[in-house]
Structure 1
Amino acid sequence: MANDAAPGPAKVYFADLRARAANKNRTAKLKKLFEAAGFADAIGKGDLTAIKVHFGERGCDTHISPTHVRAVADLIKARGGRPFVTDTNTLYSGSRHNAVDHLATAVEHGFDYAVLGAPVVIADGLDSTNVLEVPVPGKHFRKVKIAGDIVRADALVVLSHFKGHELAGFGGAVKNLAMGCAPRAGKQDQHCVRFAVEPKKCIGCGECARVCPTGAAAMRDKKAVIDKASCIGCGECLTVCPKKAMHIDWHTEIVPFMERLVEYALGAVIGKPGKTAFFNFLTNVTPDCDCVPWSDAPIVPDIGFLASTDPVALDKACLDLVNEQAACPDCKLEHGLGAGEDKFAALWRWTRGDVTFVHGEAVGLGSPRYELVQVE
């Protein structure tokens, strides 16, 4: 397996958010999870250690707090590691499309040396050409394109905000590895889908044309059209369309998309056996990815922090914990959902998050079987 999980159910460590003393605050909980999950063993003296985060698109404010990233950086330094905080440039146009704009957005959101105690590095370089190919035993890929500075890092600690996603259904550790560790060319390899417009639903607002990074989406006779030859499958049109007039053939496209995503996640960790660690943050569980320039109301109450050396088990535990909650009032789940109902399937009817778990196990990324261990 790509991670160092033992045979049998993977251990996933969980800390809730209750705190009535300084030794139970959120920073203290992260330290306890780090220790309980054995993450210290992944960091050697002098290790260049990538802390993979998502800095959030300009306008999003529900990304992981920089103070929590600082806590993890301090833990790595205490082990003698040399942390740097990192992300990769986006496929779509926006405030993180190149390293200059990306770093400016990161600083605006509080991710700078003064707060983090570690440098910020855009792992795929100025224009997303710092790329290395990594062999993987995949169904769709034999090699995947991963950001060079993530491949070259000695160790990798992945901090993921668990939330919804319009294509994957939800985004956690696996998606943060797959899309988040890939340069633009790798992101395009994974998407590899083409969107079309349902004319009856289109209201001619032009939002899709405004955000399309290649000009594939345009207006014609007061309706949106998409040039499939120019479409790179980034999904931005789907995100901003108020009437959900954008579509793909979900029955045939979504499963291969999810499998490609899993194989890219494997490529991000396959060269680091015993040198990877994963935190998921079950706070501000928004319906959309942090790639959108807004933050919608959370769909469930805040739950806590989780940690594991197995990213598949970690995401499965998070999905189960979210679905155990009743939906928040006045959120995107307009009709409300009770405890035990699938929140992300209700948000995104085409979601096939189960493929993450099935294909993740098939290619050796991890196992969906887990034991949840409470950390006080």
Structure 2
Amino acid sequence: DRVTAPDLMRVAERNGFTSATLGAPFIAADGFNGTDDVHVDLPEGYILQEAYIAKALALADSAIVLTHFKGHPLGMVGGSIKNMGIGAQSKRGKYNVHMGGHPTYSLPATVIEHPEHVNDTVLNAIPDLCPYGALERNNGTYQWHRDKCTSCLGCLGLLVSNGVWETPVRYYAAQQAAMADGALAAIKALKGKVGFLNFAIDISPRCDCVDHADTALVPHVGIFAGRDPVALDQACLDAVVASQGTPGSAADDWGVMGAGDHKFAHASGVSPDVIGMSEEIQIKTAVKNGLGSAEYELVEVEPHDTNHAYLDPMDRRKVGLKYGPLYKRENPFPEERHDGFGFDRRTEIDIEAVM
């Protein structure tokens, strides 16, 4: 459970991400309830025309994006594009990317229901499952109020895995395209001052969102770095495709063990409806919207002595240099209110009466 900032921080701590281990504070970049964000207009987007970027990231001077490259149940691949396209979005930004409320590609607009597959597992889980009251249990079956559904995905795994919902490929494909747009918006908010690292190790079939690990689809591929997230993801994807699968992994289960086989396309999807879906939707969309290029040149990096590497954890800039640019973007003093005085206060009081 990582819906609110305290929930997220507890999950992070359980997984070893703390100030002590990171050498930097761990924060929820979009605030307590995921609405602390910056709106970004995106006329160049392929499907999204706006995005909501987590404020702590959007107001940062720059960013280094560390990504575990792996599969993803909603669209095959989780790399730098997905990390920025989902991870950098606030909660309302995630609703946007996940097609919440979309007239064509949302869950209510795409799902085909199979109520004949409702079973006790589904019925027992439904009470109080949906925060919007879109799911109810009535007379031994379930009722889904499509008009209340926001595509929050809280019930998707349950209903898809039990065959109650059939989710067409276009639902997943639209989200992949939206991730590329979301990534573009995040990089725009940072004015392009972003570097990317993809850790293509422990390449699990599904993302780190799920509550379990799995045997890596292929052996470790390596660590990739670059300024273009599109080229970076393409390089990692090509390396995974070119690798032999790991015996006993999901790649083995699906018979995609050979070099040249598309492991993610078969082993990663949350639904049988997406088996064989393209692994390159994010990449192709990111080329179309101008995020980057799928062309790349691999440059091998020689090992270096890291024993003497040192990163000063303290920001030693003077206050004006440190906060001046930030306050120009978001001024905590509301100088536009009350004729420049900022706040509604009495002009004069009897201060001696309380001294």
TM over 0.5: same fold? yes
Between the aligned partners of 1:364 and 1:293, the Cα distance in structure 2 is 35
Q: Would you tell me which structure has more strand in proportion to its own residues?
A: 1
**What is the aligned counterpart of 1:149 among 43, 51, 56?**
56
Deviations 1:220-239 (A, max 9, x none): 56555533223222444443
**1:339 pairs with 2:259:** yes
Partner SS, residue 212 of structure 2 = coil
Worse overlay, 164-173 or 252-261: 252-261
- SS of the aligned residue for 1:120 comes to coil
Q: Contact conserved, 1:208 with 1:218, CA < 8 A, in 2? A: no
1:368 Cα shift? 0.8
Contact kept, 8 Å, 2:204 with 2:214, in 1: the verdict is yes
Inter-partner Cα distance in structure 2 for 1:249 and 1:299 = 25
For residues 176-210 of structure 1, the C-alpha deviation after alignment (integer angstroms, 9 at most, x for no partner) is 10110111111111112214433455544228637
How many correspondences in the alignment?
Answer: 281
1:328 to 1:218, Cα distance in 2 relative to 1, 3 A: farther
CA-CA distance at 1:101 after TM superposition: 1.2
* TM-score after normalising by structure 1: 0.68
Find the aligned partners of 1:371 and 1:229 in 2 and give their Cα distance.
Answer: 48
Counterparts in 2 of 1:301 and 1:182: CA distance versus 1, 3 Å: same
Which amino acid letter does the alignment assign opposite residue 369 of structure 1? E
Deviations 1:236-267 (A, max 9, x none): 444345445433232x3333322222111101
Residue 290 of structure 2 corresponds to 364
Structure 2 counterpart of 1:119: 25
Shift of 1:312: 0.7
**Corresponding residue number in structure 1 for 2:98:** 191
Q: What are structure 2's unaligned runs of at least 5 residues?
A: 100-105, 303-355
CA deviation after TM superposition for structure 1 residue 127, in Å? 1.1
CA RMSD of aligned residues (A): 2.3
Q: Do the aligned partners of residues 132 and 224 (structure 1) sit closer, same or farther apart at CA in structure 2, a change above 3 Å counting?
A: same
Mapping of 1:201-350 within 5 angstroms?
Answer: 201-206=117-122, 209=126, 212-220=130-138, 225-240=143-158, 241-250=160-169, 252-333=170-251, 334-337=253-256, 338-347=258-267, 348=269, 350=274
8 A contact 1:208–1:236 mirrored in 2: no
Q: Which letter does structure 2 place at the counterpart of 1:146?
A: I
CA contact (8 A) 1:238 1:247 kept: no
CA contact (8 A) 2:46 2:285 kept: no
Counterparts of 1:182 and 1:279 in 2: how far apart (Å)? 19
Question: Distance between the aligned counterparts of 1:131 and 1:274, measured in 2?
Answer: 18
Kept in 2, the 8 Å contact 1:170–1:344? The answer is yes
Deviations 1:296-324 (A, max 9, x none): 22222222111111001111111111111
Choose 1 or 2 for highest CA Rg: 2
Q: Does 2:56 correspond to 1:138?
A: no
Q: Contact (CA 8 Å) 2:36, 2:55: kept in 1 or not?
A: yes
The amino acid of 2:263's aligned partner reads K
- Cα deviation, 1:124-158, whole Å, max 9, x if unaligned, reads 00111211101222133332111111110010111
Going from structure 1 to structure 2, the CA distance change for 1:223 and 1:303 (only over 3 Å counts) comes to farther
Aligned partner letter, 2:245: A
Q: 1:336 Cα shift?
A: 2.8
1:171 partner amino acid: G
Amino acid at match of 2:97: Q
For the 8 Å contact 1:209–1:219, the answer to whether it is kept is: yes
Matched, 1:99 2:18: no
1:172 aligns with 2:60: no
Is the 1:254–1:352 contact (alpha carbons within 8 Å) kept by the matching residues of 2? no
Q: Which residue of 1 aligns with 2:325?
A: none
Runs of 5+ unmatched residues, structure 1? 1-94
- Structure 2 SS opposite 1:133: strand
Deviation, 1:213, is 4.6
- Structure 1 pair 199–324 and aligned structure 2 pair: CA distance change class (3 A): farther
Mapped contact 1:208–1:224 kept (Cα < 8 A): no
**Stretch deviating more after TM superposition (177-186 or 289-298):** 289-298
Answer whether contact 1:177 1:268 (CA < 8 A) is retained: yes
Q: Give the residue type in structure 1 aligned to 2:35.
A: T
The CA distance in 1 between the partners of 2:131 and 2:28, in whole Å, is 20
Contact preservation (8 Å) 1:287, 1:332: yes
Paired residue secondary structure (2:297)? strand
Please, what TM-score do these two structures have when normalized by structure 2?
Answer: 0.72
SS at match of 2:250: coil
Aligned to 1:232, what secondary structure does the other structure show?
coil
Partner residue, 1:10: none
AA in 2 matched with 1:125: G
Return the alpha-carbon distance in structure 2 between the equivalents of residues 119 and 340 of structure 1: 42
Matched to 2:262, the amino acid is: D
